[in-house]
Structure formats: structure tokens, C-alpha cells
Amino acid sequence: MKKMNLMAGILIASATMAGTSVTANAAMPQNVNIKSNNVKVIRIGQGCDLDSVLSQLKNCLPGISFPQFQQPDAENSCPEIPQIELPTPSLPSPELPEQGTPSPELPELEIPTPELPEQENPSPEVPEQENLTYVEQVVQLVNAERAKEGLAPLTLNIKVSAAAQVRAKEIVTSFSHTRPDGSSFATALKEQNINYRRAGENIAWGQKSPQEVVSAWMNSSGHRANIMNENFTSIGVGYHRQNGVNYWCQLFTS
């Protein structure tokens, strides 16, 4: 500091030269004024500069040298704290794709379609419930032939048709009016609890349609005789297909 306050203490400097004494006294906050013949009074006020005090002392006491006080520089009174430079962490900047860059094209995957082996579809057997169409056609064709001769139409009987269906399956192994067990075809009617006075049977195999089988029967005298028998009143038709071959049966009752 370039100014020095003299506080709560007493600074006394005395020297004896040629009968003159000098006293410097500083107390806060008053100035000292001493009256004496042999005393020179120096006024020191609060906030007085130390350099001015020393200058006055030199004037009062010639020939006395005072040490030069080197006052600390106010700017350098505080130790300088070195400035620490903290490194700024450098974070890697993410690389952004350039705009306008097209996305990579993914190759199209071709999924092969599995090839299924070709299946040989043999001619399925016509279900019996679908045979009614053939049965009805045969009955209509028979009644049409009877009508040409002025005979009454035959009535389709469900039980007689059930017996005819059994016989159509049996003639696959034994193409005869005798059943595989050696009995007469008429026993098939009895198995269906059918009461009858007369019975007749027409059988055939290989024909592909009702028209074809009825035509074959009409061209055979024995089969034609059953179709044109005026004593028959009911008819039943059986149709069975096995191994691609059609088997037919007609049963007549009265």
C-alpha cells in the first residue's frame, strides 16, 4: 500500500543533535501538536502518506539518513494464483449420412413355389346318395318305354332300390342272378322286409349312362320282357361304380 495509517500504536523517533529533539507521534484519530522551543512538531494525520512523513523528518534532521522503505505494490500484494486451463473434452461428432444419398437397394428374394407332384385321380366311386340321379333317370326311361306300349308307369320303391343296390355290388364278383352265397336274387328283397308276389331282375355292367344301359336292356328280349311286364307295379334301381366300371341292377315287384 502506498499510504500507511498509523493505528492504535505509537511511533516514536527521537534524535539528539545540537540540542534539538524531534518526536513524531501518531495516534488514531487525532493529530499531535506539541509546543516547545526545542521541539519541532510534525503533524501526522490519519491516512498520511509514509513518504511525506519521512520527507518531513529529513527536513527536520539534516544529516540523518533514513532507510528507504519499499512498500509492496498493491497490485502484487496478493500472490497470483496460476490460472488452470481445464481441457475441454472433445466428443466425437457423429457422422451423419449425406442428404440425398439413396438407401442401398436390397435384392429381391424370389421364393420358389414348391411344385406338388401330380396326383393321379382315379375315377371315384359315385356316392350312393348321388346315385339317386341315375336311379331316377333309369326309372323315367323305363316308364317312357312302357308308355309307348300303353302300360302303366312303375312306382319307384325305396326299399326295392335298397335291395337293388346290394345286388349291384354283388355282381362285381359274381355276375349272375344267383348271389355269391348261392341263393336267389329274391333273397335280397326279403332282407329288406319287402312283401311281394312276383319278382324280376335285370343286371348289366360297363354302360356309362342311364340312357346307354336302358337301351341295352331294351335290345335284349329277356330284359325287355321284365320292363314291359304289365304285372309289375314297383321298381328299384341300383348303381355301383368300382375300378372305373359301372354296375347296374333293376328289381321289379308286384
The answer on pLDDT for 68 being more than 50 is: yes
Higher pLDDT pick, 5 / 133: 133
Neighbours of 37 (CB within 10 A): 6
**What gap in Å lies between CA 200 and CA 215, rounded to an integer?**
18
Instruction: Provide the mean pLDDT of the chain.
Output: 73
Which residue, 157, 183, 181, is CA-closest to 238? 157
Sign of CA dihedral 110, 115, 116, 120: positive
Using an 8 Å Cβ cutoff, are 251 and 201 in contact?
yes
The 3-state DSSP class for residue 167 equals helix
Of 176, 236, 181, 246, the residue nearest 211 (C-alpha): 246
Please state which of the ranges 16-20, 180-184, 249-253 shows the lowest mean pLDDT.
16-20
Which set of grid coordinates corresponds to residue 219?
335290345
pLDDT of residue 246 exceeding 90, the answer is yes
DSSP string, 120-156: P---PPPPGGGHHHHHHHHHHHHHHHHHHTTPPPPEE
Helix, strand, coil abundance in the chain, percent, nearest 5: 25, 15, 55
- Beta-carbon contacts of residue 179 (< 8 Å; ≥ 6 apart): 167, 170, 185, 187, 188
Q: Which long-range contacts (CB under 8 A, 24 or more apart) does 1-5 make?
A: 1/71, 1/72, 1/74, 1/77, 2/49, 2/51, 2/71, 2/74, 3/47, 3/48, 3/49, 3/50, 4/48, 4/49, 4/50, 4/71, 5/46, 5/47, 5/48
Residue 234: pLDDT band (50, 70, 90) is very high
pLDDT value at 121 more than 50: no
Most confident of 24-28, 77-81, 195-199: 195-199
- Res 251: pLDDT: 97
Summarised one tens digit per residue, pLDDT across range 124-175 is: 344 444 445 899 999 999 999 999 999 999 999 999 999 999 999 999 999 9
CB 174 within 8 A of CB 181: no
How many degrees, rounded to 5, is the angle at CA 243 between CA 240 and CA 246? Answer: 35
| Rg of the chain, C-alpha, whole Å | 74
**Report for 47-56, 118-127, 225-234: range of highest mean pLDDT:** 225-234
* Percent residues over pLDDT 90 in the chain: 48
Confidence of residue 104 (pLDDT cuts 50, 70, 90): low
Q: Residue 160's CB: how many other CB atoms inside 10 A? A: 26
**pLDDT: is 212 or 104 the higher one?**
212
Lowest average pLDDT, out of 11-20, 42-51, 74-83, 218-227, goes to 11-20
pLDDT of residue 73: 53
Instruction: Determine the Cα–Cα distance for residues 210 and 137; give it in Å rounded to an integer.
Output: 6
Query: What's the pLDDT at 43?
Result: 57
pTM: 0.49
